[in-house]
């Protein structure tokens, strides 16, 4: 089990959690990017209670229920792209990615898929096979999946790179060595990517990368699928994270916040993809209560302008963290898109050697000071921030002040490492 510090939640409301002793914590995790509308939102609660009273469960694969059809149509309407679309429902992000992994070869007649090193797509066999994260490294599978480097401006393998634009050498790698050799383009169904690589360390690709990737895929007749499980539904300041690049997705996978806290995932995309196989079903996929949670979550996101709030609060966090970074010896990089942000800690700002132990100390110290955060990244040295999208300026400023204090303590060595021993983290 991944744990970071001895916290156990007894209750939660808005952007705060409370432990059994009644101590309140500012939650900068949003429960892994699930609590989009904050905890206990009255509109989500009322929708769930109503759904329970109407019909608390149903098996969508046996008979349709109105809510699921309405949600499918709403999600298809939200996804940009002038083509016939369809939606499929499951229960968790992993099964949504499993579903695309299974359907893509059947729909295209092409057997292979390209994904990215650092990508986290889930823990079922198919989604783990797509993943390039150390968490799934123990699973051997997916002989049809080729993993290529994700464009990381801070750790580019091809020389200086910036978020405003890059040389696209990594795409040359994909074109020449994946499509040109081990995953021949004519036998490749799709490329699957996170528009911001989350568990891989909150990596935001250079601005010109996704448009160039789309162009490359189009040239080879390869579909482009975005895993929006963690970064979708408003988190980046757009409804879908890939939208800031201006490209069109052939399909997206959704999960985490979709069901308003109840288990619900979706694949939304080209009709040809989702028409292919009726056997990709889960008994409780699209069950009435999670569907009601999803409709209410989308209602709240729209009614409360949470997509815009994510953009504004994300900028405020990014600026504040940037100022703190200017005074810190441990912070190598600060990055983010809306309310998914990463603070990468390094031993030495010149060599950029990762500082995972300092990241472990920092999240523990934050916990002691009343802020919940976790770390991510291939080296476990990136502080991940994915708060509920309802966070306001007061809480952002509270976080920044606690963060600077916790960082100062870690930098000054005011931390007893014995406290870390029971917590494995990633």
227 versus 344: smaller Cβ distance to ligand PLP: 227
Residue 194: CB minimum distance to ligand PLP, A? 5
State the greatest distance between any 2 C-alpha atoms of the chain, in Å, as a whole number. 62
Binding mask 237-276 for ligand PLP (x = CB under 6 A): ------------------xx--------------------
Question: Binding residue for ligand PLP (CB under 6 A) from 15, 58, 229, 296?
Answer: 229
Which residues 6+ apart lie within 8 Å of 109 measured at CB? none
328 versus 381: smaller Cβ distance to ligand PLP: 381
> Closest residue (Cβ) to ligand PLP?
93
Question: Do residues 257 and 36 touch, judged by C-beta distance below 8 A?
Answer: yes
Q: From residue 254, how far is each of 29, 113, 195, 310, 344 by CA, in Å?
A: 18, 19, 13, 18, 26
12 versus 340: smaller Cβ distance to ligand PLP: 340
In the block, tokens 């994270």 appear at 241
Segment interacting with ligand PLP (CB under 6 A) among 119-127, 201-209, 211-219, 237-245: 119-127
Alpha-carbon radius of gyration of the chain: 21
Using a 10 angstrom Cβ sphere, with 0-12 exposed, 13-18 middle and 19 or more buried, the burial of residue 326 is exposed
Residue 98 touching ligand PLP (CB under 6 A): no
Residue 398: CB minimum distance to ligand PLP, A? 26
- Count other Cβ atoms within 10 Å, centred on residue 414: 11
230 versus 270: smaller Cβ distance to ligand PLP: 230
Overall size of the chain counted in residues = 426
DSSP letter for 397, please: H
Residue 205 touching ligand PLP (CB under 6 A): no
Residue 384 touching ligand PLP (CB under 6 A): no
Using a 10 angstrom Cβ sphere, with 0-12 exposed, 13-18 middle and 19 or more buried, the burial of residue 392 is middle
Binding mask 163-202 for ligand PLP (x = CB under 6 A): -------------------------------x---xx---
Segment interacting with ligand PLP (CB under 6 A) among 17-25, 120-128, 177-185, 292-300: 120-128
Which residues 6+ apart lie within 8 Å of 277 measured at CB? 102, 103, 106
Residue 121 touching ligand PLP (CB under 6 A): yes
- Candidates 197, 230, 389; CA nearest to 298 is 389
Q: Could you confirm whether 177 is annotated as catalytic?
A: no
Helix pair angle (66-78, 288-303), 10° resolution: 40
Query: Which one from 5, 120, 150, 367 is the annotated catalytic residue?
Result: 120
Residue 116: CB minimum distance to ligand PLP, A? 11
Question: Binding residue for ligand PLP (CB under 6 A) from 94, 236, 297, 309?
Answer: 94
Residue 30 touching ligand PLP (CB under 6 A): no
Question: Binding residue for ligand PLP (CB under 6 A) from 14, 38, 67, 93?
Answer: 93
Residue 259: CB minimum distance to ligand PLP, A? 10
Residue 120 touching ligand PLP (CB under 6 A): yes
Round to whole Å and give the CA distance between 27 and 16.
5
- Candidates 295, 384, 312, 364; CA nearest to 32 is 384
Round to whole Å and give the CA distance between 301 and 197.
23
27 versus 358: smaller Cβ distance to ligand PLP: 27
Question: Do residues 36 and 302 touch, judged by C-beta distance below 8 A?
Answer: no
Question: Do residues 228 and 253 touch, judged by C-beta distance below 8 A?
Answer: yes
Residue 184: CB minimum distance to ligand PLP, A? 27
Residue 7: CB minimum distance to ligand PLP, A? 19
Round to whole Å and give the CA distance between 79 and 73.
10
Count of helices and strands (H, E) across the chain: 12, 15
Provide the β-strand partners of residue 142.
Answer: none
Residue 224: CB minimum distance to ligand PLP, A? 16
Question: Do residues 148 and 174 touch, judged by C-beta distance below 8 A?
Answer: yes
Binding mask 298-337 for ligand PLP (x = CB under 6 A): ----------------------------------------
Residue 97: CB minimum distance to ligand PLP, A? 6
Residues that contact ligand PLP, how many (by CB under 6 A): 16
Judged by the rule CB under 6 A, the positions of this chain that interact with ligand PLP are 32, 92-94, 97, 120-122, 194, 198-199, 227, 229-230, 255-256
The residues annotated with a catalytic role in the active site are 120
């Amino acid at each position: 089990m991944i744990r970071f510090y001895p916290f156990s939640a007894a209750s939660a409301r808005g952007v705060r959690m409370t432990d059994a002793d009644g101590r309140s914590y500012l939650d900068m995790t949003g429960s892994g990017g699930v609590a989009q509308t904050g905890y206990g939102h009255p509109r989500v609660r009322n929708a769930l209670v109503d759904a329970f009273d109407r019909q608390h469960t149903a098996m969508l694969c046996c008979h349709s229920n109105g809510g699921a059809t309405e949600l499918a149509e709403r999600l298809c309407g939200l996804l940009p792209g002038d083509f016939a679309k369809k939606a499929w429902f499951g229960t968790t992000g992993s099964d949504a990615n499993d579903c695309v992994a299974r359907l893509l070869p059947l729909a295209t007649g092409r057997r292979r898929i390209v994904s990215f090193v650092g990508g986290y797509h889930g823990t079922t066999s198919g989604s783990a096979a797509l993943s390039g994260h150390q968490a799934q490294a123990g699973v051997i599978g997916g002989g049809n999946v080729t993993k290529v480097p994700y464009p990381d401006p801070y750790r580019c393998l091809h020389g200086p790179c910036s978020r405003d634009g890059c040389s696209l050498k990594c795409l040359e790698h994909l074109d020449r060595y994946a499509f040109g050799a081990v995953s021949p383009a004519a036998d490749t169904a799709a490329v699957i990517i996170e528009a911001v690589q989350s568990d891989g360390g909150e990596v935001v690709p250079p601005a010109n990368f996704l448009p160039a990737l789309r162009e490359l895929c189009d040239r080879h007749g390869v579909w482009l699928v975005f895993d929006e499980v963690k970064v979708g539904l408003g988190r980046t300041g757009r409804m879908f994270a890939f939208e800031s690049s201006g490209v069109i997705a052939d399909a997206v996978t959704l999960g985490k916040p979709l069901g308003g806290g109840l288990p619900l995932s979706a694949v939304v995309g080209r009709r040809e993809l989702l028409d292919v196989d009726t056997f990709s079903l889960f008994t409780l996929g699209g069950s009435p209560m999670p569907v009601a949670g999803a409709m209410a979550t989308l209602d709240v996101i729209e009614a409360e302008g949470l997509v815009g709030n994510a953009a504004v609060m994300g900028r405020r966090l990014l600026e504040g963290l940037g100022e703190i970074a200017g005074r810190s010896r441990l912070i190598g990089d600060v990055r983010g898109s809306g309310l998914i942000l990463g603070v990468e800690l390094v031993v030495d700002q010149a060599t950029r050697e990762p500082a995972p132990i300092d990241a472990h100390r920092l999240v523990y110290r934050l916990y002691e000071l009343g802020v919940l955060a976790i770390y991510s990244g291939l080296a476990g040295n990136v502080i991940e921030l994915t708060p509920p999208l309802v966070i306001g300026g007061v809480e952002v400023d509270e976080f920044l002040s606690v963060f600077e204090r916790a960082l100062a303590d870690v930098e000054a060595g005011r931390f007893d490492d014995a406290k870390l021993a029971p917590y494995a983290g990633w």
